[in-house]
Amino acid sequence: MRAQPKGSHFINGAWVEDESGAIIESIHPANGEVIARLHEATPEIINKALEAAQRAQADWAARAPVERGRILRRAADLLRARNHDLSVLETLDTGKPLQETLVADAASGADALEYFGGFAATVTGQTIPLGRDMAYTLREPLGVCAGIGAWNYPIQIACWKAAPALAFGNAMVFKPSEITPLSALALAEILCEAGLPAGLFNVVQGRGAVGAALATDARVAKVSLTGSVPTGRKVYAAAATGIKAVTMELGGKSPLIVFEDADLDNAVGAAMLGNFYSSGQICSNGTRVFVQRSVKAEFLEKLKARAARIVLGDPLDESTQMGPLVSEEQMTRVLGYIAQGQGEGARLVCGGTRAGESGCFVQPTVFADVHDDMVIAREEIFGPVMTVLDFEDEEEVITRANATDYGLAAGVFTRDLARAHRVVGQLQAGTCWINSYNLTPVEMPFGGVKASGVGRENGHAALEHYTRVKTVYLGLGDVESPY
Ligand code: NAD
């Protein structure tokens, strides 16, 4: 299995290599095979990418928005036409099952390119009457934006950042996660083929230090990170020193609340999607499942039966429902949390061990009788581990759901819609689902509150984060001066 790209970096419309950069290996986590060997960006490579971006941006900003949008929509069509190959690449790099990558990765990236491609030409300013005089506003691009990605949705993350950035006239230098470096390069090639002028979307590889170099460079106007809270704190602080704009899409420990009047089959299905899809490696997962005590036994019974039927295996086999975790390190981390949960006295309902002897597979795991103060109920595990907590009444569950530093997402299952709205109105979360979970279509804004982040991706809200407002005061009469 090889997925070696033509070069490590894609800069100014071309493949670039600099073998003096440290080696980055992309490993297929289902069998440990090295599928590609790349080099980290050296300071020269980073400089080249930023220079190219800066050079290209002014012309791009001056183009008619409808023309910018057309190129992005062409790229969306190319992504869709090549969805199968891109999905195989993403499966090799991340280990996520093809069954998922075929529908959720390049496909959602294409949606973002199409959406922001269409959005580009609709952006306008305001006119502000001021009596005799008036003012108007212009929406201007920020300039060069740095994008830094996580490893769980590599091409989706690249598109969620690149599409609005490019649509509104910016250039981007994107650094994918060192664990999944490949699909951003494929995206760069496709954007180029769609007609994006050279230099507007550049990909540089590297670990944290390369991200830090981008976040501190004076040529970068904005940094958009998808990653963990500890990394977010560092990148936000670095950006603050340079007074740069930021978008921070960080981690979570989101509550999913199941009231006794809920459709339990739907609630169980959503809880499983919100904990086992992508082997649980999703930021917005509803990892604290609060179930009202009167339906707890029934909920757990249904959950256990359905979890036992999950098909684990070779992620390239389309009948596989759950693949490995992304890396051995992540598997070890997750198994450590499982051991800790058992040590803390949580009741293991199913799973709890590694699956098989090779590959980074962990069984879908459910803990019941979990208490709020247990580590497995407080920390982001980022693996297929669901914790089920009991509650008695609405007020109690809202307080407990909010008792976390995180605030990315939340879900409520109930047939009582008045209660559903009342509850989500009080939940401290950037995105809430009622009788659904984890669906993130590009039309709706997505992002966190509290430690889970700053800013929003997608929807009309993204405009705020990739443009700035210029105000122009227009004097239409004589200047009234006391001097
Ligand atoms: P991570 O924080 O380890 O790394 C994220 C990215 O930041 C990587 O590209 C990494 O190389 C880079 N980085 C690391 N240190 C840096 C530094 N000092 N300066 C600049 N860049 C640096 O996260 P991860 O393990 O790749 O991804 C998992 C995390 O991402 C989880 O916490 C998950 O919740 C979060 N996540 C959030 C969202 C969201 O939209 N909110 C989506 C996906 C993942």
Nearest to 277 by CA among 412, 384, 356: 384
Mean pLDDT (whole number) for 270-281: 98
Q: What is the separation of C-alpha 471 from the centre of its chain, rounded to a whole number of angstroms? A: 32
Residue 301: the pLDDT is 98
CB 34 within 8 A of CB 48: no
Residue 394: the pLDDT is 98
Residue nearest to atom 21 of ligand 1 (CA): 211
**Mutate which of 40, 156, 157, 231 to test ligand 1's pocket (most atoms within 8 Å of Cβ)?**
231
Please tell me the distance from the alpha carbon of residue 190 to that of residue 155, in angstroms, as a whole number.
12
Please tell me the distance from the alpha carbon of residue 433 to that of residue 91, in angstroms, as a whole number.
28
CA of 348 to the centre of ligand 1 (A): 29
483 pLDDT above the threshold of 80: yes
Among the options 90, 249, 296, 302, which is catalytic?
249
Mean pLDDT (whole number) for 52-62: 98
Of ligand 1's listed atoms, the one at least distance from the Cα of 206 is 11
Helix pair 106-119, 154-167: axis angle to 10 deg: 10
Of ligand 1's listed atoms, the one at least distance from the Cα of 453 is 41
Residue nearest to atom 19 of ligand 1 (CA): 212
CA of 73 to the centre of ligand 1 (A): 28
**Mutate which of 283, 337, 382 to test ligand 1's pocket (most atoms within 8 Å of Cβ)?**
283
The structure tokens listed for 452 are 């889970």
Among the options 145, 283, 350, 432, which is catalytic?
283
CA of 249 to the centre of ligand 1 (A): 8
247 pLDDT above the threshold of 80: yes
CB 69 within 8 A of CB 118: yes
Q: In what order do the strands lie in the sheet with 467-474?
A: 127-130, 133-141, 467-474
CA of 84 to the centre of ligand 1 (A): 26
185 pLDDT above the threshold of 90: yes
CA of 223 to the centre of ligand 1 (A): 13
Nearest to 370 by CA among 343, 350, 388, 391: 388
Mean pLDDT (whole number) for 199-215: 98
Of ligand 1's listed atoms, the one at least distance from the Cα of 148 is 9
CA of 394 to the centre of ligand 1 (A): 34
Q: What percent of the chain has pLDDT over 90?
A: 99
Question: pLDDT tens, 334-374?
Answer: 999 999 999 999 999 999 999 999 999 999 999 999 999 99
Mean pLDDT (whole number) for 139-161: 98
Residue 232: the pLDDT is 98
Of ligand 1's listed atoms, the one at least distance from the Cα of 176 is 9
The structure tokens listed for 175 are 């650094």
Residue 166: the pLDDT is 99
Question: pLDDT tens, 165-175?
Answer: 999 999 999 99
Facing residues of 473 across strands?
A: 135
Nearest to 163 by CA among 206, 137, 200: 200
Residue nearest to atom 8 of ligand 1 (CA): 177
Question: pLDDT tens, 386-407?
Answer: 999 999 999 999 999 999 999 9
Residue 323: the pLDDT is 98
Confidence band (pLDDT; 50, 70, 90) for 466? Answer: very high
Q: Does residue 457 carry a catalytic annotation?
A: yes
Give the 3-state DSSP-derived string for the chain, with helices as H, strands as E and coil as C: CCCCCCCCEEECCEEECCCCCCEEEEEECCCCEEEEEEECCCHHHHHHHHHHHHHHHHHHHHCCHHHHHHHHHHHHHHHHHCHHHHHHHHHHHHCCCHHHHHHHCHHHHHHHHHHHHHHHHHCCCCEEEECCEEEEEEEEECCEEEEECCCCCHHHHHHHHHHHHHHCCCEEEEECCCCCCCHHHHHHHHHHHCCCCCCCEEECCCCHHHHHHHHHCCCEEEEEEECCHHHHHHHHHHHHHCCCEEEEECCCCCEEEECCCCCHHHHHHHHHHHHHHHHHCCCCCCCEEEEEHHHHHHHHHHHHHHHCCCCECCCCCCCCCECCCCCHHHHHHHHHHHHHHHHCCCEEEECCCECCCCCCCECCEEEECCCCCCHHHHCCCCCCEEEEEEECCHHHHHHHHHCCCCCCEEEEECCCHHHHHHHHHHCCCCEEEECCCCCCCCCCCECCCHHHEECCECCCCHHHHHEEEEEEEECCCCCCCCC
Q: What is the dihedral of CA 40, 224, 34, 46, to 10 degrees?
A: -20
Half-sphere exposure of 183 (CA within 13 A, CB side): 33
| Amino acid present at 36 | A
Of ligand 1's listed atoms, the one at least distance from the Cα of 179 is 26
**Mutate which of 148, 157, 406 to test ligand 1's pocket (most atoms within 8 Å of Cβ)?**
148
CA of 148 to the centre of ligand 1 (A): 8
Question: pLDDT tens, 96-113?
Answer: 999 999 999 999 999 999
Residue nearest to atom 10 of ligand 1 (CA): 208
* Sign of the C-alpha dihedral computed for residues 313, 319, 321 and 323 taken in this order: positive
Among the options 161, 244, 253, 302, which is catalytic?
161
Please tell me the distance from the alpha carbon of residue 137 to that of residue 464, in angstroms, as a whole number.
14
Residue nearest to atom 35 of ligand 1 (CA): 227
Mean pLDDT (whole number) for 246-273: 98
Question: pLDDT tens, 17-43?
Answer: 999 999 999 999 999 999 999 999 999
CB 45 within 8 A of CB 9: yes
151 pLDDT above the threshold of 90: yes
Q: What percent of the chain has pLDDT over 70?
A: 100
Q: Does residue 48 carry a catalytic annotation?
A: no
1 pLDDT above the threshold of 90: no
Q: Does residue 161 carry a catalytic annotation?
A: yes
Do β-strands 9-11 and 171-175 pair in parallel, antiparallel, or remain unpaired?
A: unpaired
Please tell me the distance from the alpha carbon of residue 85 to that of residue 107, in angstroms, as a whole number.
12
Residue nearest to atom 22 of ligand 1 (CA): 208
CB 209 within 8 A of CB 238: no
Please tell me the distance from the alpha carbon of residue 22 to that of residue 391, in angstroms, as a whole number.
51
Of ligand 1's listed atoms, the one at least distance from the Cα of 283 is 34
Question: pLDDT tens, 296-322?
Answer: 999 999 999 999 999 999 999 999 999
Pocket of ligand 1 (CB under 6 A): 148-152, 175, 177-178, 207-208, 211-212, 215, 226-228, 231, 234-235, 249-252, 283, 380, 382, 408, 448, 453
**Mutate which of 38, 160, 204, 228 to test ligand 1's pocket (most atoms within 8 Å of Cβ)?**
228
CA of 107 to the centre of ligand 1 (A): 22
CB 50 within 8 A of CB 91: no
pTM of the model: 0.98
CA of 63 to the centre of ligand 1 (A): 33
57 pLDDT above the threshold of 90: yes
